[in-house]
Amino acid sequence: MVRGLLGPSLVHEYGSSPSALRILAIAAAGLVPQVAPVATEHAVALPVAVEHGSLTAVLAPDPLDRGGRPLRLRAAPGEYRDLWTDDPVRPGPDGEIALPAAEGIALLWRPGRDETARSGPG
C-alpha cells in the first residue's frame, strides 16, 4: 500500500491518474497476478498476499472515465468472487471478465484447492 495522497488522487483528481497508474505499474512490474487488465484498459492489477486462495486488487478509472464501458480483465480459468461487490465471477471461454466496477475497484478472490474441495463445485 502507498502512504500519502496516491489513493485520493486516483479517486478525486483524474488528471493525476497517468502518473499514479505509472507509479503503480512500476511497483507491480515483477508481480504476476492471476488477473490482469486487458491491454486497452488503463488499470493496474496488484496481487495481495492472503492466507487462503489468491486475491488480486484491480484499480481502474470510474465508468464515466471509461466511457460507460465495463472493466475488461484476463483471468486464469476458475471461479472468483469480487469481494468489493460480493458477486461471483467466472471468466468466459476467451479468458475475459467484464465487470461494471462502478467505483473503479475490483477485489477478485479465488479459493485455493482446499477451499474449492470444501465448498464443492460452483
Q: What is the mean pLDDT of the chain?
A: 79
What is this structure's pTM? 0.68
In angstroms, how far is CA 24 from the centroid of its own chain?
13
- Residue 53 is part of which domain span? 33-119
Does residue 17 lie within any of the structural domains? no
Does residue 38 lie within any of the structural domains? yes
Does residue 93 lie within any of the structural domains? yes
The pLDDT value recorded for residue 120 is 42
Does residue 21 lie within any of the structural domains? no
Q: What tens digit of pLDDT does each residue of 47-59 get? A: 888 999 999 999 8
The pLDDT value recorded for residue 113 is 62
Q: What tens digit of pLDDT does each residue of 27-51 get? A: 766 655 678 888 766 888 888 889 9
1 pLDDT more than 50: no
Does residue 90 lie within any of the structural domains? yes
How many domains, in total, are found in the chain?
Answer: 1
14 pLDDT more than 60: no
Does residue 114 lie within any of the structural domains? yes
